[in-house]
Amino acid sequence: MQVEIKDLKKEHDEQLMQKAGIGDEAAIEEIINRWKNPLINFFYRSLRSFEQSEDLTQTVFIRLYRAAPNYVPKAKFSTYLFQIARHLLINEYRRSVRKPLTICDPLEFTTTPANLNNDLRIKEIEELFSNALDELPETQKTALLLYKQQELSYKEISDTMDASESAVKTWIFRARQNLKEALKDIL
């Protein structure tokens, strides 16, 4: 069993997906372990709610498992994964328009956030940064997060967001400009 897990760790996401497609539970578990933190942070930067982010992360994996039997690795796995994530995020935005979200401070969670730092300055920057990010249009925010947080290429982002590469570049540029403007007093 230990040997099997070690082997899975070496495998590409695409290979794991194909294994998950034939019901290999260890393969889907490896995918969950690899992608849970990138996904929850992607959602968290957009929604600012830990619980919603965790729910959506879980939904992504369930959808991924459902889709695994029919998965054909046409593009990079992360493109496929964030396509699902973005669809869920857009649905969540639509839902939250009807029912406003309750914004929670991540430091108030009972769970332990990574690298928890009590420095008020960091907390303040984080708060202002989140507010500034919140103000960005969905396209700008998603493009910037995929580019910087998830380190996807322009091509991968354009596939994920179903847009041209030049549109993606423009969104990222504008997102940066808007963030700089909003954060000029603290950075």
Partner 1 sequence: MKSEKTNSFDPVIEKIFGEKVTCSNDFTKRTIERISMEDQQQVDLKIDEILKYYPIETSTGFSEKTLRLIRLENNYNKKIIPLFKNLVGLTAIAAAIVFAFISVKKINEPILTEKFSASNKYNSLNSIPTIQVRNKYVVAQNNVDDVNKLPVMTDIFLMAEGLLDAQILLQDENIGTLAIVTD
The CA distance from 78 to 174, in Å, is 24
> From the CB of 87, what's the least distance to partner 1, in Å?
18
Helices 25-47 and 120-135: angle between axes, nearest 10 degrees: 90
* Residue 113 touching partner 1 (CB under 8 A): yes
Structure tokens at 139: 């396209």
Of 95, 109, 131, 166, which one interacts with partner 1 (CB under 8 A)?
109
Q: Which stretch binds partner 1 (CB under 8 A): 11-19, 84-92, 94-102, 113-121?
A: 113-121
3-state DSSP assignment of residue 99 = coil
Q: Are 44 and 59 in contact (CB under 8 A)?
A: no
Contacts of 40 (CB under 8 A, 6+ apart): 53, 54, 57
Q: Are 168 and 175 in contact (CB under 8 A)?
A: no
Binding mask 116-145 for partner 1 (x = CB under 8 A): ---------xx--x--------------xx
* Residue 111 touching partner 1 (CB under 8 A): yes
> From the CB of 177, what's the least distance to partner 1, in Å?
10
Contacts of 42 (CB under 8 A, 6+ apart): 82, 85, 145, 146, 149, 150
Of 41, 83, 139, 170, which one interacts with partner 1 (CB under 8 A)?
41
* Residue 171 touching partner 1 (CB under 8 A): no
Of 6, 10, 66, 98, which one interacts with partner 1 (CB under 8 A)?
66
Q: Are 8 and 26 in contact (CB under 8 A)?
A: yes
Interaction site with partner 1 (CB under 8 A) = 23, 25, 28-29, 32-33, 36-38, 40-41, 44-45, 50, 53-54, 57-58, 61-62, 65-66, 106, 109, 111-115, 125-126, 129, 144-145, 148-149, 176, 179-180, 183-184, 187
